[in-house]
Each structure stands twice: as C-alpha cells, then as structure tokens.
Chains A and B, each alone.
Chain A
Amino acid sequence: GAVVSQHPSWVICKSGTSVKIECRSLDFQATTMFWYRQFPKQSLMLMATSNEGSKATYEQGVEKDKFLINHASLTLSTLTVTSAHPEDSSFYICSASRDGTEAFFGQGTRLTVV
C-alpha cells in the first residue's frame, strides 16, 4: 500500500527554538496533505491543510505564524513549530490521500519541548 513517512520520529528541543517536521509521500504524489496534533489520551485534532504550491489552510484556533507549513513539492510537506514552548509538546501526525479513497498516515513525530 501507499506509504507516508515522517521525519523525525521524535525530537527534543529547547524552549524558544524552532523545529521542522517532514512528511513525505513515498510512492505517490499528493497535492494535499493534512497535519494533525494529538495530546496524551486525546484524539487527533486537525491543524491545517497543506496545499502544494499555495498557502496552507489553518483550522480555527491554530496560529499560522507559529505553525509554518510549506508544501514545496508533490511529495513533501513540512511543518515548522516556531519558538516552541512546553505546551507545544505533542504528537504531530501528517496524512495524504493518493486517490481520495483512503488516507495514509505517517508514523507521527513526538515533540518534547524542554
């Protein structure tokens, strides 16, 4: 089946620094990718829609200047958490759909801000 890969799987960063997370569709092209965030013992919450060649669309309450999304090619979207703080510590997950029938998810990135 189609594969979506995220990198890194986990990252620890200092408060105030920025962290970039990559999401790649390995065997298909994805004009649209999605970014989710999941806090412990909670469900996934959609953060934003990443559109290849155009600006991302953010869900209500998600700060676009804090969570920078770049979708520079049909196989790569990046999420940059800028000026990270401990409350940004979470599990970040991306997804992409090859043909609209099912979504494939990355393995997730565990971000810990200390």
Chain B
Amino acid sequence: DAKTTQPPSMDCAEGRAANLPCNHSTISGNEYVYWYRQIHSQGPQYIIHGLKNNETNEMASLIITEDRKSSTLILPHATLRDTAVYYCIVRLRSNDYKLSFGAGTTVTVRA
C-alpha cells in the first residue's frame, strides 16, 4: 500500500469547515483513498473512501486531486464531537481488509 503523509495536528473552530489534507504521491492507479477517525479510547470509525472522483456522504466530503497525489477530507460544519485522530489510508480494494495506520492528524475542534 502507498504511504501517506498528514500534518500531525490542526485546530478548527466549531461550526466552521475543517479541511484535512493528505499526500499520497506514490499512489497507484487501482488504489483507493480511505479516511477513518478515532475518537479517544474508541475503535476507529469509517468516514469515506474514493478512487478518483470526489465523494460526499452524510459525514464528510472527499476531494481528490486530478493527479491523485493528494486529497482533502472536508468536515463541513465541525462540532466538538468531531475532535479525533483522522487517518488517511491508501489501499487496494479487496476482501483482505487489513489496514496500515500511520500517525494521522489530531483534530481539535474548539468552541
């Protein structure tokens, strides 16, 4: 799986959009970009994934650059409950669903 690079931490104001960047310059053509988050002392939670098109669901939006070397997760209206560590993971889509977690970005939403 390709390596990803994320900023170690970022702050966000409650009610504002949070934009979380991820670099994955060595991504191959059939690798997907996945985002998970982990709230303190809980198991990770799936957020969204995409291949090359932008994706949106009830939690977030995923914007992938045209060259696919980077992406941005957007939390449209951050709340205090969105405070968590966010992981960007690149992987092939297969039934062998083991994930390689990096350090992630610690996002702190402030009132």
Which residues on A are within 8 Å of B, measured CB to CB? 4, 6, 32, 34, 36, 43-46, 49, 91, 93, 95-97, 100-108, 110
Contact = CB atoms under 8 A, between A and B. Distances in A.
Interface stretch (B11-19, B21-29, B61-69, B99-107): B99-107
Interface range on chain B (Cβ under 8 Å from partner): 20 to 34
B97 A100 contact: yes
Contacts of B100: 46
Given A43-B102, A43-B103, A46-B100, A105 B95 contact: no
Contact of A34 (B49, B87, B98, B102): B98
B94 A100 contact: yes
B43 A108 contact: yes
B43 A107 contact: yes
Contacts, number: 59
A43 B96 contact: no
Nearest to B87: A43
B49 A97 contact: no
Given A106-B43, A110-B41, A95 B99 contact: yes
Interface in B43-59: 43-46, 49
A55 to B, nearest CB: 16
Contacts of A49: 96, 98
Interface string B64-107: 00000000000000000000000100000111111111111000
